[in-house]
Amino acid sequence: MHFLNIATIFLITIFLFYYKLIYNFIRDRLRIYKYMRKFDGPYSFPIIGTLYMVNIFDISKFTTQSMELAQYYCQKGCGTIGLWLGPVPLIAVINPQHAKEILESNEVITKAEEYDILFPWLGTGLLTSTGSKWRQRRKMLTPAFHFKVLNDFLSVHDYQAKVFLEQIKPYADSGKEVDLFPYIKRLALDVICDTSMGVTIDAQNNHDHQYVESVRLLSEYAFEWILRPWLRLKPLWYLTGPGHEYDRHLKIVTDFTKTVIKEKWEEFQKFHVDPVVKTDKRSMAFLDLLLELRNEGLMNEDDIREEVDTFMFEGHDTTSASMGWTLWCLAHNPEFQEKVIQEVDGIFGTSDRDCTNDDLKQMKYLEKCLKESLRMYPSVPFFGRTVEQDVVINGDFFPKGVRIIVMPLLLQRNPLIFDNPNQYNPENFSEDKIGSRHAYSDIPFSAGPRNCIGQKFAMMEEKAVISWFFRKYRVTASQPFGMNKILPELILKSSLGFPLTVHHRTDNK
C-alpha cells in the first residue's frame, strides 16, 4: 500500500511537471488538424496518415504513385495537396503561384525537419542554415560564384571532359552497352574537387575512391530516414535501420574534407608569410574565400568544413545526375541528338580546341536540351520548409507547425502547363514557350532568396562536358525510355543507371 502511494505521488508529480507541455502539444495538434482539413487531399487515417496510398518500400513505385496523385489534383485545379506522412502534416505545392510566394517569402525560409538527418554531415552550412546565419553566409559566399571566377574554371571542365572521353573510349563501337553514370559521377567529383578545393583526387582513374561510394550511401540512407518516420527514433535507426553504416560513411566523408582543409590552411598561412610561396600559389576560388574569412576571424574550422562538405555534395551529385539524364533522353530522341551535334559542329568544326565562354553562349540548343531534362528529371526533386509562424500564401492559411514541400518533380510535369509533360521536348524552352508560362513553372535550381548559388557553375560544366561528348560520340539505347524509373532520393537517381551504347562519330574526322 505504501508503495502504491509513492507511485501515485510520483505520477502526479510527473503530470504536474509536464502538463503544460502536454496541453500545448494537444492544443497545437488539434489546431493543425483543423486547418489541414481545409486543404484538398486524399483521406488520412490515424497514425499512418496517407502512407497507405503509396509504396514506401519500393521507391520507384512511390514516385509513380506520387506523380499520378499530383496530376490528378492538378487536373482538379488545386494548387496544393494536404498530406500526412504518418503523423507529420505536409502541404505539397503543385501550383507555380503558390511556389512563387513560398520561395520568395522572407518568413518561410527555415528548412523542414526532414533535413535534420543532414546536420551531422553538412552542419548548418548554406543548404541547412536559416535566419541571420543563412543571410550572412549567403552574402559572404556569393563572390566565389562571380562570372569572372567561373570563367577561370573552364580549363578544368575541358581537361576533365577529355579524361572522361578517354575513359569511355574502350566501349565505343564495341556494340555493348555501358552504364555511363559511374563515369559521369567520377568526372563531376574531379571537377568539384579541383574547382572548389584545389585538390586533384583523380577519381576518373581511381574507380575505387571511397569518397564517391560514401557520398552515394549517405544520400540513400538519409532519404530512407526521411521516408520512414519511425526511423527517427534512435533505437530503431540503429537496430533496424542503417544508423551504424551512416555513421561509418559519415566519418569517411568528413575526415576527407578535414584533411584537405588542414593542408590548405597550412599552405594559406605560408602564402601570407612567405612572398616566394605567394607567386606560386594557384587559384582556388571557393576554399580561398573561406580561408580568407577564417583569417579575418569570420569563420572557424568547423564553419569551413560544413560549407566545403555542402558544396562537395551538391556540386557533383546534382550535375552528374543532370548530365546522365540528358544523355539518356537524347539517346531516345535521335532527332534532338542530331541537332545538338550540328550545333556543336557549327561551333568547333573538326577541331579539338578547348571551350571558351563565347562557345558556351552559342550552345542555345544544347541549353534547351539540358533544361528539358532538368524539367523532367530535376536533380533536386523537392525543397522542404517549416512554417514557424502562421502565414497566408496565395490566399491559403498555413498554420504554424506544418511542413511545406515544393516538388519540382511534380510541379514541372503539370499537365495544365506543359503539353505531354512526360514526353521529352526541348522546344518547351523556346522563347515563345518560356514567355507564355508562369516563371515558377520550372524551378530545378529553386528560386527566390534561397535559389541555388551554384547554378551558373553547373550549367557551364554541363555544357562543356556534353559538347565535348558529342564532338566525338553518338549514343543509342536498347532499353525503353520509361524502363528507367525515377528514384527521388536527396538527389534524383535512376533505377538502371544510364546504360547506353557509345558510337564513334565517323562524320567528324
Which residues, 6+ apart, have CB-to-CB distance to 404 below 8 Å?
Answer: 90, 91, 93, 102, 108, 112, 384, 385, 386, 387, 398
Instruction: Return the pLDDT at 463.
Output: 97
Instruction: Return the pLDDT at 370.
Output: 98
Q: Kindly state the average pLDDT of the residues 99-109.
A: 84
Mean pLDDT, the chain, rounded, equals 86
Instruction: Return the pLDDT at 15.
Output: 67
Nearest to 325, CA basis, from 364, 363, 376, 366: 376
Ordered DSSP codes for 10-34: HHHHHHHHHHHHHHHHHHHHHHHHH
pLDDT tens for 254-286 read 998 888 888 888 888 877 655 444 444 444 557
Which residues, 6+ apart, have CB-to-CB distance to 210 below 8 Å?
Answer: 252, 256
Percent of the chain with pLDDT over 70: 93
Does the structure show a pLDDT above 70 at 5? no
Whether 316 is covered by a domain: the verdict is yes
Does the structure show a pLDDT above 50 at 353? yes
Q: Kindly state the average pLDDT of the residues 93-116.
A: 83
Q: Kindly state the average pLDDT of the residues 101-105.
A: 87
Cα separation, 500 vs 475, whole angstroms? 6
pLDDT tens for 45-64 read 887 888 777 776 777 777 88
* Amino acid present at 201: I
442: DSSP letter: -
Instruction: Return the pLDDT at 282.
Output: 45
11 burial type by CB count under 10 A (0-12 exposed, 13-18 middle, 19+ buried): exposed
Cα separation, 207 vs 168, whole angstroms? 13
pLDDT tens for 126-167 read 777 777 787 888 888 888 777 777 888 899 999 999 999 999
Does the structure show a pLDDT above 90 at 500? yes
Cα separation, 24 vs 28, whole angstroms? 6
Instruction: Return the pLDDT at 360.
Output: 96
Whether 285 is covered by a domain: the verdict is yes
Q: Kindly state the average pLDDT of the residues 357-370.
A: 97
Whether 366 is covered by a domain: the verdict is yes
| Residue 171: half-sphere exposure toward Cβ, Cα within 13 Å | 19
pLDDT tens for 447-466 read 888 888 889 999 999 999 99
Whether 26 is covered by a domain: the verdict is no
The CA distances from residue 350 to 103, 294, 344, 363, 466, in Å, are 45, 47, 10, 16, 16
Q: Give a three-class secondary structure readout of 343-401.
A: HHHHHHCCCCCCCCHHHHHHCHHHHHHHHHHHHHCCCCCCEEEECCCCEEECCEEECCC
Whether 127 is covered by a domain: the verdict is yes
pTM of the full structure = 0.87
Instruction: Return the pLDDT at 285.
Output: 59
Percent of the chain with pLDDT over 90: 36
Nearest to 309, CA basis, from 491, 128, 144, 156: 128
Cα separation, 426 vs 375, whole angstroms? 10
Whether 93 is covered by a domain: the verdict is yes
- The CATH number of the domain where 113 resides is what? 1.10.630.10
Instruction: Return the pLDDT at 281.
Output: 43
Which bin fits 420, alpha (ψ -120 to 50), beta or left (φ > 0)? Answer: left
Residues in the chain: 509
Instruction: Return the pLDDT at 366.
Output: 98
Whether 358 is covered by a domain: the verdict is yes
Instruction: Return the pLDDT at 279.
Output: 40
Residues placed in the known binding site: 452
SS3 call for 208: coil
Range in 46-55, 330-339, 340-349 with the lowest mean pLDDT: 46-55
Beta bridge partners of 93: 80, 406
Does the structure show a pLDDT above 70 at 3? no
Whether 101 is covered by a domain: the verdict is yes
Q: Does residue 424 or residue 134 have the better pLDDT?
A: 424
80-85: strand order across its sheet: 80-85, 88-93, 403-406, 383-386
Are β-strands 403-406 and 383-386 bridged in parallel, bridged antiparallel, or unpaired? antiparallel
Instruction: Return the pLDDT at 280.
Output: 43
Domain range for 343 is 38-504
Residues placed in the known binding site for heme: 452
Number of domains in the chain: 1
Report which secondary-structure segment, H or E, holds 60.
helix 59-75
